[in-house]
Amino acid sequence: MANDAVVLRFSEVTFGYGETKPILDEASFSVRNGSKVALMGQNGAGKTSLFKLILGENKPQAGGIFTTPKDAVVGHARQVIPTDQSGLTVREWFSGTFVEVPYNVDRRIAEVLDAVNLKTDLDKKLVAHSGGQQARLLLAYSLIQDPDILLLDEPTN
């Protein structure tokens, strides 16, 4: 993909909840490959709703959302490890991101852990990590699929 290619495009997107004023009203914008975009706003302004639109968890009421390639991988660093997954080991948790676990999964896990500067035993349970270590695990988790688009919701928390 060319460095200046558009990877995400919103075309006249309208979205809201119920009968209230829409969060987005015919919004159009594009994000180019390699761009870093900060989305800032007050609590309740719609930042997370916008992320959910990009992730496909919410559907626009009008307009279209397009990615290039069409099947672009979108990584999303969540804020907390889901409670039902906290008893998994690091290896089990990361392996769960793949439809088919690659033969080199341990090497791939090591690469993303290195990228977030975290050294840990792959057989250690997620719950046994400190809050700061869990934050790094969450970021690494979003990187392991080598996403075309990476969403970081409240990355300074």
Q: Which residues pair with 67 in a beta bridge?
A: 8
* Residues 9-28, mean pLDDT to the nearest whole number: 92
Q: Which of 48, 72, 96 is the last residue of a domain?
A: 72
Amino acid identity, residue 147? P
Judge if 44 and 11 occupy the same domain. Answer: yes
Q: How many domains does the chain have?
A: 2
Residue ranges making up the domain that contains 131: 76-152
Q: Is the peptide bond before 60 cis (omega within 30 degrees of 0)?
A: no
Judge if 11 and 48 occupy the same domain. Answer: yes
Which CATH number does the domain housing residue 33 bear?
Answer: 3.40.50.300
Judge if 40 and 82 occupy the same domain. Answer: no
Segment 43-98, tens digit of pLDDT? 888 888 999 999 999 999 999 999 998 888 888 888 899 999 999 999 999 999 88
Judge if 83 and 105 occupy the same domain. Answer: yes
Residue that the structure tokens 């307009």 belong to: 63
pTM score above 0.85: no
Judge if 89 and 143 occupy the same domain. Answer: yes
Residues sharing a CB contact under 8 Å with residue 126, sequence separation 6 or more, in sequence order:
81, 85, 86, 87, 88, 89, 90, 93, 134, 137
